[in-house]
Amino acid sequence: MFKTTSRTLTVFCQVLLTLLGILFALPLVVMFAVSFQGRGIGNYQLALAVPNIVRFFLNSIFVTVCTIVLVYTVASIAAYAFSKLRIPGKEFFFNTILVGLMIPGISVTVPLFILFRNTHVLDTYAAMILPFTAFSLPFTVLLMRNYFDGIPTELLDAAMIDGCNSLNALWWIILPMSKAISIVVVIWTFLGSWNDYFTALVYIRSDEMLPVTHLPNFLVRLQGVGSPDIGPVFATLVLISLPVILTYILLQRYFEDGIVSGALK
């Protein structure tokens, strides 16, 4: 009886996962198919001929790299402090940071817009980097703290006896032993920052500052009034998605292992 139930549950899970896989893969298949509609490969030639297309990609690369560096640096230091250092009230501060997980980003859009306008940050790279960094930190701090909790404190105590200070302990002991969760933080931040559309929509005004996610909109505006030529538009979507898809395919194993270890430790 139990074997039959277990086999039925396994089949059900396999069917369910297959359906979910098809559901998530279908938009990518449609996007790829439509990108060849009409002119075929010519749609990609038109997409690559968009004025300043290199600038769009360079903007996204710069914003993404800066965001990754900021998120990883701040999250690792904060997680180390919450996990290993003796700080009065650190649990209160940690729980305060976790409140950020429950705050929708859109709810602070207007206050941030006013703040950026008054401080002349609108239409700058900082207007794209800072909001995403702030909203990424609660989750990354949680992941890294859980992982750091699994590292024996005795290693740090021995290092302190030998004259190692807190920052050196983080750099030479904690981070080298935390490669799995570090890879997760980098991939997670890259995927989110590269795909971010809303932040630039609100805080960026000039075409020269737009990230690559706004390339399809820019192409539609260039096509003028009337029904857009969707072939080249979808070709730009494929070009935008390629770095994300390749990153996940190549690093999927590290991403999944790091997520599991960060959640369980």
What is the reported pLDDT for 250? 84
What is the reported pLDDT for 259? 64
Give the N- to C-terminal CA distance of the chain in Å, as an integer: 35
Where b means 16+ CB within 10 Å and e means fewer, 87-108 reads eeeeeeebeebeebeeeeeeee
* Sequence-distant (≥ 6) Cβ neighbours of residue 155 within 8 angstroms: 173
Q: Extract the tokens encoding 56.
A: 């769009």
The mean pLDDT value of the chain amounts to: 88
What is the reported pLDDT for 157? 83
- Listed by start position, the domains of the chain span 35-264
**Of residues 252 and 210, which shows the higher confidence score?**
210
Q: Count helices and strands (H / E) in the chain.
A: 12, 0
DSSP 3-state of 98: helix
Alpha-carbon torsion (246, 248, 252, 254), positive or negative:
positive
d(CA 166, CA 10): 48
Q: Which amino acid is present at 258?
A: G
Average pLDDT over residues 95-111: 88
How far, in whole angstroms, is CA 35 from its chain's centroid? 25
- Flag the least confident range among 14-18, 44-48, 194-198, 222-226: 222-226
What is the reported pLDDT for 37? 87
Average pLDDT over residues 109-116: 94
Q: Which amino acid is present at 265?
A: K
CB 213 within 8 A of CB 196: yes
Name the CATH topology of 35-264: MetI-like fold (1.10.3720)
What is the reported pLDDT for 54? 93
pLDDT in tens, 119-178: 999 999 999 999 999 999 999 999 999 999 988 888 888 888 888 888 888 888 899 988
- pTM value is 0.88
pLDDT in tens, 173-223: 899 988 889 988 999 999 999 999 999 999 999 999 999 999 999 988 888
The percent of residues in the chain predicted with pLDDT above 90, rounded, is 49
